[in-house]
Structure 1
Amino acid sequence: MAECVHLLPRRWFLLSSLLLVAAAAAAAPVVHGYGGLTVGFYEKSCPEAEAIVRKVVAAAVHDDPTTTAPLLRLHFHDCFVRGCDGSVLINSTKKNTAEKDAKPNHTLDAFDVIDAIKEKLESKCPRTVSCADILAIAARDAAVRQGQWSKDGNLYEVETGRRDGRVSSAKEAVTYLPDSFDGIRRLITRFASKGLSLKDLAVLSGAHALGNTHCPSIAKRLRNFTRHHNTDPTLDAAYASKLRRECRSERDNTTQLEMVPGSSTTFDATYYSLVAQRKGMFHSDEALLRNDLTRGLVYQYMSSQHSFLRDFGVSMVNMGRVAVLTGTHGEIRRTCSLVN
């Protein structure tokens, strides 16, 4: 997950068309099973599983509100490589460089939160709840909006029943993970390869409402973008100047840049307003304006937060179904960073 204002005259035409698309494509965020997954999979084997995840996530976010974005990113980065099998959590060995040590994953965080959850679950229900399911539930709980969607504040119900994979490859992570410099065609191809639609692409990009980045991740957009442009021409010029003042060195790993200035710990639709103004942090954010459907969704969500939050739940469920291991496939790891 996880980068033109001159098109504004087309906005209302696109929005009216999208109403028809949304009516046909949007499903209720509550789902009840797919390919061996089901809502409430642990109801009998570990009835407190989701409550334990929620409690640990809530405590972590209370201590550090910036924990929300890393938890969402872990699930996203897991699902795009070998499917949602927990392989992003596996440590490298002398014989294998794992996903977490691939360059696109060097900024991943919150592994300690997942480890804390797993420790409590192993104590309560040994070898029952998979690390892959922990990632899916924790991602949902990181984006919780208390009381807005159900009695316990869930944006959507998580299908569970995934099992953990035994293989983790840094090379595969480099190949399959979306890049912050991807254009719209490349993004469409990457998402389609996982069975995810244009709508899923636009909606899941909304996770950039949370979190921070650092200067090296946008250095190319600010300086030496191409031989013809020192600055990425798709980035608002005034915003680019502001970012250059904050990032005086492309190697500055200390300065934190909020993905949504002033709102980086609040999960809402503000991100889409920035994208429409060409102030998205990544080139891949601006890429959403380069396709009729994704551009129309940008304008729809910036004016209807309810639509975004509803559709986000649907797309997260869609992503959580990618190439899952269920039944007798895979394993239930005792420690998320180690294969049994």
Structure 2
Amino acid sequence: MDKNLFFILAFCLLLHGANAQLKIGFYNSSCPQAESIIERVVRLRFRNDPSVTPALLRMHFHDCFVRGCDASILVNSTRTKSAEKDAGPNETVRNYDLIDAAKAQLEAVCPATVSCADIITLATRDAVALSGGPHYKVPTGRRDGLVSNVEDVNLPSPALTVPEAFAFFGPKGFTLVDMVALFGGHSVGVSHCAFFQDRISDFQGTGRPDPTMDPRLAETLLKRCGTQSRPLNRDPTVFLDQGTGSVFDNQFYGQIRSRRAILKIDQELALDPSTARIVSIFASNRTAFNQIFERAMIKMSKIQVLVGNAGEIRKKCSVFNPRPKGKRG
């Protein structure tokens, strides 16, 4: 085995105690068409909009890192209660309608059988594969949560240091290697200028760009973004990977090693001694990156899952099933 790949695998620990009630092919008997239906919905959307991949990666991450992978991010707010969907960090999450479309087709053939949480997980897996990434087998059997509170949303900022970011990932059961691999999701997708504007013009109040950013990149970004903040719906965007921004590959790691990261946390991964070697290995070994990304995504999909009789199988992903008063958390 390649010594660098061995180094990575040696540090990649699978999550202990993962719930045995999740299993590959959970719906083989109850809804044998489930995974093919979801894949078809994702494929049709991808043909017209390849950005579905980063959108679903973001949705999956934002769901699992709050209350676990329970589809609580899909629930709409009501007149009396604000749900996770309306939290600031979720303002740019999109493609809820894709999940709804898959759910509607599944309800037509297998009523009250396939959870919205499993739809998010499977759709994300399919989108990654369509973008050129690995196609991994993911266990299913999750159930949907009964709670969605805007106050519960606490997600890592793109301006964190590596130790600050790991303070979010470590308690979820991830290693540093897992974390670096998951940030490889930035191989696809864009960022609004608002999330890195200080790096290109007035970094930490210095009146100058971030010294860790390639000056030529900073100049290009300044022309694109300017110095004035805008509402997100009018804020320009740039690809996080300036080479192959619509292809899921390992080129992102080579770029951040060349000080061409858009987000501060991405640049920190290449600079921090605890993660720099991992970045270097992923940059030169796509197989290593793919393997660890697969493991990390499967691990993430198991965070605090509800199984068995816990939670519910929502009939509509954006609304809790009707329940007797006093039974909702």
TM-score higher than 0.5: yes
1:24 and 1:264 map into 2 onto residues whose CA distance is 30
Amino acid at match of 2:28: E
Question: Does the CA-based 8 Å contact 2:134-2:294 persist in structure 1?
Answer: no
* Equivalent residue, structure 2, for 1:106: 91
Q: Aligned pairs, how many?
A: 314
Question: Does the CA-based 8 Å contact 1:199-1:293 persist in structure 2?
Answer: no
2:164 and 2:149 map into 1 onto residues whose CA distance is 22
1:34 and 1:293 map into 2 onto residues whose CA distance is 30
1:123 matched to 2:108? The reply is yes
Structure 2 residue ranges without an equivalent (≥5): 322-329
How much identity, in percent, do the aligned residues show? 39
* Equivalent residue, structure 2, for 1:3: none
2:161 and 2:134 map into 1 onto residues whose CA distance is 33
Shift in CA distance, 327/120, structure 1 to aligned 2, threshold 3 Å: same
1:220 matched to 2:201? The reply is no
Using the TM superposition, give the Cα deviation of residue 250 of structure 1 relative to its aligned residue in structure 2, in angstroms: 2.6
Using the TM superposition, give the Cα deviation of residue 215 of structure 1 relative to its aligned residue in structure 2, in angstroms: 1.6
Between 289-298 and 271-280, report the one with greater CA deviation: 289-298
* Equivalent residue, structure 2, for 1:6: none
1:203 matched to 2:181? The reply is yes
Q: Map Cα deviations across residues 27-80 of structure 1 (whole Å, 9 max, x no partner).
A: 89xxxx744211111110001100001000000000111111101111111000
Using the TM superposition, give the Cα deviation of residue 214 of structure 1 relative to its aligned residue in structure 2, in angstroms: 1.8
State the TM-score, normalizing by the size of structure 1.
Answer: 0.87
* Equivalent residue, structure 2, for 1:169: 149
1:317 and 1:35 map into 2 onto residues whose CA distance is 14
Between 190-199 and 153-162, report the one with greater CA deviation: 153-162
Q: Map Cα deviations across residues 243-274 of structure 1 (whole Å, 9 max, x no partner).
A: 00111233173523111124221110011011
Question: Does the CA-based 8 Å contact 1:155-1:309 persist in structure 2?
Answer: no
* Equivalent residue, structure 2, for 1:21: 7
Structure 1 residue ranges without an equivalent (≥5): 1-14
Amino acid at match of 2:70: D
* Equivalent residue, structure 2, for 1:155: 135
Using the TM superposition, give the Cα deviation of residue 219 of structure 1 relative to its aligned residue in structure 2, in angstroms: 1.5
Q: Map Cα deviations across residues 158-213 of structure 1 (whole Å, 9 max, x no partner).
A: 1101101111122221x2x1111111111111001211111111000000011112
- 1:194 pairs, out of 165, 168, 172, with 172
* Equivalent residue, structure 2, for 1:274: 255
Superposed CA RMSD: 2.1
1:65 and 1:93 map into 2 onto residues whose CA distance is 32
Q: Per the alignment, in what secondary structure is the counterpart of residue 246 of structure 2?
A: coil
- 2:40 pairs, out of 38, 55, 58, with 55
Q: Per the alignment, in what secondary structure is the counterpart of residue 322 of structure 1?
A: coil
1:105 and 1:288 map into 2 onto residues whose CA distance is 24
Between 94-103 and 204-213, report the one with greater CA deviation: 94-103
2:110 and 2:296 map into 1 onto residues whose CA distance is 30
Amino acid at match of 1:163: R
Q: Map Cα deviations across residues 284-304 of structure 1 (whole Å, 9 max, x no partner).
A: 101212443421111111111
